[in-house]
């Protein structure tokens, strides 16, 4: 028989193999839940037969029956129990074996030892002709634990729903158009220049340009924007976005594995593979508690064997082992953390470290960079003051230095030169001087652009008239860039940057949540103060080098214990890495993104208050889960040790504990989505304004800026 699965034709020998393939090839959480359900079905059939005969034995139905019949009933129970124990207990035995090889004793050991004790004692009793067997106890304990694991797997599958496209990205395929043929290929085999067909409802697999077709796309997972974006011929498309209502033919602009989407997917997978501090603490507690529980179970059997028959003492010891299984403790943090990461990923926020959510929840101070973080990062060149040279030469030399830089001021200078039709001067040996500027060589002479500290370091004098003009511009809040060559400063370029429309609302919302804000910037005090006043930040530290920013952050940490840093530039890499929580905006430089533990989507500053809410909800859920799991275990263990819990009831109690942890964690799904500080139309207008500013400066065409 043939079936079409995931867009590909697959052949199967029978319908059963088709079902098994679909179960096994699904997401890990989904096929785990499906296999557990199959185990429950088979185990349930066997356990029902076992319980039916066991209940008959416990009732008066066999009173007066020939004693020779009972051994045969016990043998029948053994026959039913053996496959049930193998099917339901096999996964626990495998876990215990694999962990034992690595020198670890985990909760699976408690289940295996307890069930094995009941099963082996009952098997021995059958040989001895005893009237007491406990096959029903062994099987029902496994049934209840497997049912609990099934519900846990269902909960994990729901928790991974938001992460599904990220976790499945590495195995995605693309429809490559080769002449008249369309071939399905893994995305990793797609290279630049290939044509890819994307049908409505499919995820766009590569970055590229639309060659044919028109459609709306949803880029929320990349940009955080939930609105649809119209794409037509010539439009750029982003890997990871969803094609909504029309077929598109896309020419790939790069390798399928080199997209930002692929990088996000790898980062999320790596983050989920790490353990948060709370998870590591829970693991250590479980590692210590399991041997202690094993010892307690043994002591319980010894104690009760003095006053009860051995089989009664064995059941009490089994209850202790079963009820003390720390499954809920192991679930407490991972479930909540996965749900939190999934909620953030749904809105384009990338979490690189699972522990960042717990740390962010404790943060009471956020430090912000200025340019590109609180401001648009698309500065405008508003003036050029120069001596003995023309403005075209100034812009040619400046653009030659700055054209490859990712700094916001550098992009503005390069854009202004492009608008005037000026060809950048060929510049070699270009290198960035952190916290100072950039330097290189052109026409055999050294050339540099940056702040006054760079010029002082180089020993290049600044003419008095340019120095006075620079002081005047800085006093009015403008950013100033000195340009020099031939061991002398020849020009001062003045740039202006406006705060993001949502910055003030975001800072106010953070303050409502009890968070303080401070501004750490390399710009001069006047420019920093102007932006700080507009966005509502009172504490300012300006004129800081990257190392000075890091030291300032250390000083702030003394008064606030945990501090988060929000930045986007090359200079922010060290301080983002040093912060308790490093947060990079989506337009950040590669260094800022790589050193930050949390990356916001482009123009995602407005989401920061909501992210804090999610982090606090995750931490609150983790603490609630742990308190419940430990408290539940302690109370139940006390009852079991005093002989007040039968093993089957103990297993039900333990499964209930895990289920409650799962249900409590799933409450995170009900968290509200982020609400922007501005309505979408306003944010679109603000974005368009930034795009216009980034394209160049209209003022450059007039004589007002050509001061010489």
Report the CATH number that the domain containing residue 453 is assigned in CATH.
Answer: 3.40.1110.10
User: What local confidence, expressed as pLDDT, does residue 22 receive?
Assistant: 44
Measured between alpha carbons, how far is residue 624 from residues 79, 213, 288, 630, 664 in Å?
44, 51, 21, 10, 8
Rounded to an integer, the average pLDDT of 60-73 is 62
Q: Are 515 and 589 in the same domain?
A: yes
- Which pLDDT value is given to residue 631? 84
**Residues linked to residue 706 through DSSP beta bridges, in sequence order:** 384
Q: What burial class does residue 455 get, using C-beta atoms within 10 Å of its C-beta: 0-12 exposed, 13-18 middle, 19+ buried?
A: buried
Gap between the Cα atoms of 327 and 111, Å rounded: 11
Token digits of residue 24: 């096994």
Domain that holds residue 576: 356-375+499-596
Instruction: Establish if 215 belongs to a structural domain.
Output: yes
Beta-carbon contacts of 44 under 8 Å, excluding residues fewer than 6 positions away, are 143
Closest CA to 345 of 217, 257, 467, 224: 224
Residue 702 CB contacts under 8 Å (≥ 6 apart), including other chains:
none
Do residues 448 and 472 share a domain?
Answer: yes
**Domains held by the chain: number:** 3
Tokens describing residue 238: 């982003």
Residue 225 in this model has a pLDDT that exceeds 90: no
- How does pLDDT run across 29-40, given as a tens digit for each residue? 566 667 777 777
450 and 503 in a single domain? The answer is no
> What pLDDT does 171 receive?
62
Residue 335 or residue 16, greater confidence: 335
Q: Choose among 592, 375, 603, 589: nearest CA to 495.
A: 375
Same domain as 583, residue 516: yes
| Residue 392 and residue 462 in one domain | yes
- Report the distance separating Cα 391 and Cα 396, nearest Å: 8
In a domain, 526, yes or no: yes
> Does residue 480 sit within a domain?
yes
Helices (H), 445-519: 452-458, 464-475, 503-512
Closest CA to 196 of 5, 205, 219: 205
Among 28-32, 226-230, 281-285, 604-608, top mean pLDDT goes to 604-608
Q: In the prediction, which pLDDT does 352 show?
A: 79
User: In 60-119, which ranges are E strands?
Assistant: none
Q: Which residue has the tokens 């540099």?
A: 448
> So what's the pLDDT on residue 18?
45
Last residue of a domain, one of 477, 496, 515: 496
Distance CA 520, CA 150 (A): 50
Residue 23, pLDDT > 60, answer no
In sequence order, what are the residues at sequence separation of 6 or more whose Cβ sits closer than 8 angstroms to the Cβ of residue 561? 362, 364
Q: Are residues 483 and 398 in the same domain?
A: yes
Q: What are the residues whose beta carbons fall under 8 Å from the beta carbon of 533, sequence distance 6 or more? A: none
Q: What is the DSSP string of 283-337?
A: HHHHHHHHHHHHHHHHHHHHHHHTTS-HHHHHHHHHHHHHHT-THHHHHHHHHHH
Mean pLDDT calculated for residue range 19-27? 44
pLDDT class of 431 with cuts at 50, 70, 90: confident
Q: What is the distance, to the nearest Å, from the Cα of residue 443 to the centroid of all Cα atoms in its chain? A: 48
pLDDT over 70 at 3, yes or no: no
**How far, in Å, are 99, 188, 269, 434, 611 from residue 256 at the CA level?**
38, 5, 17, 33, 30
Where does a domain end: 204, 239, 254? Answer: 254
Residues 487 and 526 in one domain: no
Kindly report the CATH number assigned to the domain that includes residue 536: 3.40.50.1000
Q: Is residue 661 part of a domain?
A: no
211-220, 458-467, 679-688: which range is least confident on average?
A: 679-688
Res 401 pLDDT > 60? yes
Which of 369, 497, 568, 603 is catalytic? The answer is: 369
Q: What does the pLDDT read at residue 590?
A: 54
Sheet holding 248-252, edge to edge: 181-186, 173-178, 195-198, 248-252, 208-212, 236-237
Contacts 24+ apart (CB under 8 A), 2-11: 7/173, 7/184, 8/184
Q: How open is the CA angle 681-687-693, to the nearest 5 degrees? A: 140
> What does each C-alpha distance from 92 to 9, 114, 146 come to in angstroms?
36, 12, 10
Answer whether residue 100 is part of any domain.
no
Q: Say whether both 419 and 482 belong to one domain.
A: yes
Residue 456 lies in a domain: yes
Indicate if 385 and 491 belong to the same structural domain.
yes
Q: Note if 369 is an active site residue.
A: yes
Tell me, yes or no, whether 287 lies in a domain. no
User: Do 366 and 403 belong to one domain?
Assistant: no
- Which among 465, 496, 527 is the end of a domain? 496
Question: What CATH number is attached to the domain comprising 223?
Answer: 2.70.150.10
DSSP bridge pairs for 236: 209
Do 483 and 455 share a structural domain? yes
Residue 552 belongs to some domain of the structure: yes
Rounded distance, CA 208 to CA 238, Å?
Answer: 7
Least confident of 12-21, 103-112, 163-172, 189-198: 12-21
**Which of 430, 364, 424, 428 minimizes the C-alpha distance to 399?**
424
Question: Across-strand partners of 176?
Answer: 183, 196
More confident residue, 620 or 683: 620
List phi, psi (to 5°) of 259.
Answer: -80, 160
Query: Is residue 485 located within the same domain as residue 542?
Result: no
What gap in Å lies between CA 108 and CA 674, rounded to an integer? 41
Beta strands in 54-199 (DSSP E): 173-178, 181-186, 195-198
């Amino acid at each position: 028989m043939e079936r079409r699965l995931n867009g590909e034709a697959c052949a199967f020998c029978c319908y059963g193999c088709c079902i098994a393939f679909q179960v096994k090839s699904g997401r890990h959480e989904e096929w785990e839940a499906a296999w557990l359900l199959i185990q429950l079905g088979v185990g349930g059939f066997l356990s029902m037969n076992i319980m039916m005969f066991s209940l008959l034995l416990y009732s008066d139905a066999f009173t007066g029956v020939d004693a020779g019949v009972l051994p045969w009933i016990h043998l029948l129970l053994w026959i039913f129990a053996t496959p049930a124990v193998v099917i339901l207990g096999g996964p626990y035995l495998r876990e215990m074996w694999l962990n034992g090889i690595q020198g670890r004793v985990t909760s699976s050991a408690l289940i295996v030892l307890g069930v094995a004790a009941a099963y082996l004692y009952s098997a021995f009793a059958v040989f001895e002709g005893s009237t007491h067997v406990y096959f029903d106890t062994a099987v029902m304990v496994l049934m209840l634990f497997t049912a609990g694991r099934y519900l846990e797997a269902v909960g994990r599958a729901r928790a991974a729903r938001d992460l599904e496209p990220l976790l499945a990205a590495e195995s995605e395929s693309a429809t490559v158009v080769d002449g008249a043929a369309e071939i399905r290929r893994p995305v990793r085999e797609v290279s630049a220049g290939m044509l890819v067909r994307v049908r409505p409802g499919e995820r766009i697999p590569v970055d590229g340009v639309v060659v044919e077709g028109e459609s709306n796309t949803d880029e929320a997972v990349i940009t955080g924007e939930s609105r649809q974006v119209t794409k037509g011929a010539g439009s750029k498309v982003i890997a990871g976005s969803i094609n909504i209502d029309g077929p598109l033919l896309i020419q790939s602009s790069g390798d399928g594995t080199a997209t930002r989407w692929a990088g996000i997917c790898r980062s999320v997978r790596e983050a989920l593979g790490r353990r948060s501090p709370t998870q590591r603490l829970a693991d250590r507690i479980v590692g210590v508690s399991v041997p202690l529980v094993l010892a307690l179970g043994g002591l319980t059997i010894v104690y009760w064997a003095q006053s009860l028959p051995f089989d009664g003492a064995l059941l009490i010891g089994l209850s202790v082992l079963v009820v003390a299984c720390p499954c809920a403790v192991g679930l407490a943090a991972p479930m909540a953390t996965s749900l939190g990461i999934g909620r953030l990923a749904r809105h384009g926020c990338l979490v690189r470290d699972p522990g960042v959510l717990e740390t962010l929840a404790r943060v009471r101070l956020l430090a912000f960079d200025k340019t590109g973080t609180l401001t648009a990062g698309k500065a405008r060149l508003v003036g050029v003051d120069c001596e003995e040279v023309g403005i075209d030469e100034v812009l040619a030399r400046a653009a030659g230095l700055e054209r490859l830089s990712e700094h916001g001021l550098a992009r503005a200078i390069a854009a202004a030169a492009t608008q005037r039709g000026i060809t950048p001067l060929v510049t070699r040996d270009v290198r960035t001087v952190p916290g100072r500027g950039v330097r290189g060589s052109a026409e055999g002479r050294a050339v540099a652009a940056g702040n006054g500290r760079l010029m002082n370091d180089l020993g290049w004098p600044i003419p008095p008239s340019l120095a006075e003009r620079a002081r005047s511009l800085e006093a009015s809040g403008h950013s100033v860039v000195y340009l020099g060559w031939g061991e002398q400063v020849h020009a001062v370029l003045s740039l202006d940057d406006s705060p993001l429309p949502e910055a003030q609302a975001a800072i106010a919302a953070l303050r409502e949540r009890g968070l303080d804000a401070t501004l750490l910037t390399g710009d001069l005090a006047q420019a920093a103060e102007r932006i700080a006043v507009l966005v509502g930040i009172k504490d300012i530290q300006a004129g800081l080098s990257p190392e000075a920013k890091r030291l300032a952050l250390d000083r702030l940490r003394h008064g606030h214990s945990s501090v988060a840093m929000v930045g986007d530039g090359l200079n922010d890499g060290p301080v983002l890495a040093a912060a308790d929580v490093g947060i990079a905006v989506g337009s950040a430089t590669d260094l800022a993104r790589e050193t930050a533990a949390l990356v916001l989507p482009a123009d995602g500053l407005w989401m920061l208050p909501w992210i804090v809410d999610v982090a606090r909800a995750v931490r609150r859920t983790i603490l609630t889960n742990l308190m419940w799991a430990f408290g539940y275990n302690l109370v139940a263990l006390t009852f079991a040790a005093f002989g007040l819990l039968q093993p089957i009831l103990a297993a039900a109690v333990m499964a209930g504990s895990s289920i409650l942890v799962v249900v409590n964690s799933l409450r995170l799904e009900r968290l509200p989505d982020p609400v922007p500080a501005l309505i979408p139309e306003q944010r679109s207008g603000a974005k368009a304004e930034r795009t216009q500013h980034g394209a160049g400066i209209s003022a450059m065409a007039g004589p007002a800026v050509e001061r010489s």
